[in-house]
Chains A and B, each alone.
Chain A
């Protein structure tokens, strides 16, 4: 079965510094990978996705993610963090070669705290 691991419960970074939120996945076939962000008292908002093509994917609010097939990773990055980036981030995967391809499997989430 597909699975997603976000090894860090929390990431702390100073404003203006680069940030990375880690995600690794496990699927039996080709993955469709997603990042979502959750602000307090809000639903999840889509940030970016990898389906095929370039390994570096650019998304909303200046975020990008790099797909690495050999390391089965899809880390979220941003060159310069903002205090307003503080939120809960979820990585998710669909295994497109399984009958359960409809299922979006989420990681446990990583809380990003950006200090002024």
Chain B
């Protein structure tokens, strides 16, 4: 089954404790991206990757890092989480960044206390 898998689904952590949210897709998609969803703001892009070893900032990259060492994986790293990073996070992939639709993971609800 074609899917985007995120882990964990839920995470509560403390300020400053490094964490990684994993994302993996099994569709051989070149393009992957991370979004955060906040009430009243919709989804905002954090980082994206056009292919292996090619990543770039989205609209809200501060406080986040990503890597793309393999085509299927695109982890999101929070080196020093802060409470304003409490949010619902989605990973997405698509065959290309153009006309094709994006496939989304089920989301990771992160709470930073």
Q: Does B61 contact A (CB under 8 A)?
A: no
| Cα of A90 to Cα of B43 in the assembled complex, Å | 9
Could you tell me which residues of chain B, from 84 to 100, have a CB within 8 Å of some CB in chain A? 90, 92, 97-99
Give B28-68 as 1s and 0s: 1 = Cβ < 8 Å from A's Cβ atoms: 00010101000011111100101000000011000000000
The A-B contact count (CB < 8 A) is 58
- In the bound complex, residues from chain A placing their C-beta under 8 Å from that of B98 are 32, 94, 96, 101-102
Known: A43-B104, A101-B98. A108 touches B90 (CB 8 A): no
- In the bound complex, residues from chain A placing their C-beta under 8 Å from that of B90 are 43-44
| Cα of A108 to Cα of B107 in the assembled complex, Å | 17
Beta-carbon contact of B50 and A106 below 8 Å: no
B42 touches which of A43, A94, A107 (Cβ 8 Å): A107
Beta-carbon contact of A102 and B102 below 8 Å: no
Size range of the chain B interface in the assembly? 20 to 34
Beta-carbon contact of A46 and B101 below 8 Å: yes
Residue of A nearest to B6 (CB): A43
Least CB distance, A79 to chain B, in whole angstroms? 23
Size range of the chain A interface in the assembly? 20 to 34
B45 touches which of A51, A103, A108, A109 (Cβ 8 Å): A103
Q: Does B111 contact A (CB under 8 A)?
A: no
Q: Does A25 contact B (CB under 8 A)?
A: no
Beta-carbon contact of A106 and B102 below 8 Å: no
| Cα of A100 to Cα of B6 in the assembled complex, Å | 26
Least CB distance, B93 to chain A, in whole angstroms? 11
Beta-carbon contact of B107 and A43 below 8 Å: yes
A104 touches which of B4, B40, B102, B107 (Cβ 8 Å): B102
With contacts A42-B107, A44-B92, A108-B40 known, what are 15 further pairs, Cβ within 8 A? A36-B104, A43-B106, A43-B107, A44-B104, A45-B104, A46-B102, A49-B101, A90-B42, A103-B48, A103-B58, A103-B97, A104-B45, A104-B102, A108-B42, A109-B42
* 6 A-B pairs (CB sep. < 8 Å): A43-B106, A101-B98, A106-B42, A107-B42, A108-B40, A108-B41
